Amino acid sequence: MTAQSTITLSALDGEPAIRHAFFTRQGGVSGGMFASLRVRNYRFYASGQVVSLVGTWMQRIAQDWLVLDLSHNSPVALGLASALQFTPTLLFSLWGGVLADRYDKRRMLLLTQSGMGLCALVLGLLDVGNLAQLWHVYLLCLLLGVFSSVDVPARQAFASELVGPAQVGNAVALNSMTFNTARIVGPSVAGLLITAIGTGWVFLLNAASFGAVIGGMLAMDPKRLFRSARVPRARGQLVEGLRYVAGQPVLIGVLALVFVVSTLGINFYLTLPLLARNVFHGDAASYGMLTTVLAVGSLIGATFAARRVGRPRLRLVVGGALAFGVLETVAGLMPSLVWTAVVLVPTGLASLVFTTAANSSVQLSIDPSMRGRVMGLYMLLFLGGTPLGAPLLGLLGAKFGGRAPTVVGGAASVLAVLVVVVLLRWTLRRRARAAAAGSAGTAGSAGTEAQATTPTD
């Protein structure tokens, strides 16, 4: 072991879980890429998610297109719709995490998924009836965000209850594969359906797709869930979770990267329609193509992630974020739609490597009793920055052109990696020096006491 490794390990004494996430790969239950699918409850969950997420991606494409139609191609309107959808995450996801630690996560998900399906149904009926106005879309985006602010932390924490802690990493990777498979199929289908039957029917199809995930959760056997002990209701639980995170600098570094990269970099629902429509003057099919090739890269990244066992090293989290930032910047500078699509494949791969590694490292390095609260904070940072980033990137697109949001997002991600690495190394070295000084002081004090009690000539 090198001197540098020794110093860093000493700095992390008292933080064993984070220390392992930083330097080691822990063994786990082997069983191949699809090990979690051997768990009955997870199979029901994943099956429902595949159908529902395809519908969700169809709606996302249709919603972006409807906003652009109603606003006469305004980037600011598109950014505002995104901000309204994710503002509740900024306000309520921490409390959603508290609720996930207190209550039955499966029942919470049944309620939130039903509410999200209802939002899709209302928007579809308004659109099909030619009654949809921009303020209707804004209001339903806000309501969808309210349900999502509770749904997302509960769903993230639910992964360990489906498969048990030994296979959380595999389950997270398979969830990403499911998500990105839907991201490939959904936009492609949406592009065709928007042209053929209009955006309204796409919303209605998404509303129907929620029946699959609700049916999957109802079919589960609650007795086979790997439930963690529920945290009794008490005052100060939210603050307790924040203090828990504040004492772990490596965890703070990962969360900081998640915040910056997701806020300014992973904003493809905003940047890709601007590239497709405002830069390359394409149609819904062009937008669907860009989204699809990005998802292909993400699916490849998820495939690699599913093969990993145990906690990912921090270097994988940092490397994934750095590669993503560089590739996104390059994608924003490509001269044609085809070359942009080509670069988006490795961009999607890098984004998935980063997000999966970050999610797994956080989930596998925290106390189970804190999982809901920490994942609530994780999702707050992952999604809650959108109300800040989306309007800013929309303004950049309006002032400097459709390429600007993509280029700025990639450059900001690279800068964030450099800052986090420098600050984290400085923090760990300072802790190592403090620990060494404390050990020396303790040894010196013990030696003085021994000398005082030893007889002299």
Judged against a pLDDT cut of 60, whether residue 443 lies above it is answered with: no
**Does the structure show a pLDDT above 70 at 447?**
no
**d(C-alpha 254, C-alpha 325), whole Å:** 15
By mean pLDDT, which of 41-50, 305-314, 347-356 is the weakest? Answer: 305-314
Top-confidence residue, 446 or 26: 446
Q: Is the pLDDT of residue 120 over 90?
A: yes
Provide the strand spans (E) within 218-330. Answer: none
Phi, psi of 15 (to 5 degrees): -130, 60
Average pLDDT on 252-263 reads 90
Nearest residue to 250 via CA among 365, 375, 374:
365
Q: Which of 1-5, 182-186, 338-342, 447-451 has the lowest mean pLDDT?
A: 1-5
8 A C-beta contact, residue 356 and residue 263: no
**Token pair recorded at residue 281:** 């003057």
Percent of the chain with pLDDT over 90: 20
Q: Are 202 and 191 in contact (CB under 8 A)?
A: no
Does residue 5 surpass a pLDDT of 50? no
| d(C-alpha 62, C-alpha 196), whole Å | 12
Cβ–Cβ under 8 Å, residues 78 and 394: yes
Highest mean pLDDT among 95-99, 198-202, 368-372: 198-202
- Give the DSSP letter of residue 403: T
Contact 361, 84 (CB under 8 A): no
The model's confidence at residue 329, banded by pLDDT at 50, 70 and 90, is very high
Closest to 137 in 3D by CA, of 65, 206, 209, 187 = 65
Q: How far apart are CA 222 and CA 248, in angstroms?
A: 34
Is 50 exceeded by the pLDDT of residue 434?
yes
CA distance 78 to 409: 17
Contact 398, 75 (CB under 8 A): yes
What span, in angstroms and rounded, lies between the C-alpha atoms of 119 and 235? 33
Helices (H) and strands (E) in the chain, counts: 17, 0
| CA 451 remoteness from chain centre | 58
Q: Is the pLDDT of residue 10 over 80?
A: no
Residue 355 pLDDT exceeds 90 = no
Paired tokens of 61: 């494409």
pLDDT score of 441 = 61
Q: Which of 206-210, 373-377, 402-406 has the highest mean pLDDT?
A: 206-210
pLDDT exceeds 80 at position 105:
yes
Assess if CATH 3.20.20.60 describes domain 33-227+241-435. no
Count of C-beta atoms within a 10 Å radius of residue 47: 17
CA dist 310 → 20, 178, 358 (Å) = 10, 20, 13
The answer to whether 264 touches 311, Cβ cutoff 8 Å, is: no
Confidence of residue 170 (pLDDT cuts 50, 70, 90): confident
Tell me what pLDDT residue 325 has: 94
Section 102-126 average pLDDT:
90
Between 199-213, 254-268, 433-447, the lowest mean confidence (pLDDT) is in 433-447
Which one is predicted more confidently, 314 or 214?
A: 214
Question: What is the per-residue DSSP string for 75-126?
Answer: HHHHHHHHHHHHHHHHHHHHHHHHHHHHS-HHHHHHHHHHHHHHHHHHHHHH
User: In the predicted model, what is the mean pLDDT of the chain?
Assistant: 79
Cα gap 7→9, rounded to integer Å? 6
| Residue 379 · residue 103 · CB < 8 Å | no
DSSP labels, 291-323: HHHHHHHHHHHHHHHHT--SPPPHHHHHHHHHH
The pLDDT score that the predictor gives to residue 418 is: 94
pLDDT at residue 31, as a whole number: 57
Query: How many CA atoms lie less than 13 Å away from 329 in the CB half-sphere?
Result: 14
Tokens of 386: 């959108």
Distant-in-sequence, close-in-space partners of 104: CB < 8 Å, separation ≥ 6:
none
Over range 70-84, report the average pLDDT.
82
What pLDDT, on a 0 to 100 scale, did the predictor assign at position 198? 85
How far is the C-alpha of 126 from the C-alpha of 130, rounded, in Å? 6
At 78, list the tokens: 């598109």
* Residue 9 pLDDT exceeds 60: no
DSSP state of 234: -
Give the CA angle between residues 340, 294, 389 to the nearest 5°: 85
5-14's contacts with Cβ under 8 Å and 24+ in sequence apart are: 7/428, 7/429, 7/432, 8/428, 8/429, 8/432, 10/432, 10/435, 10/436, 11/428, 11/429, 11/430, 11/431, 11/432, 11/435, 12/250, 12/428, 12/431, 13/435
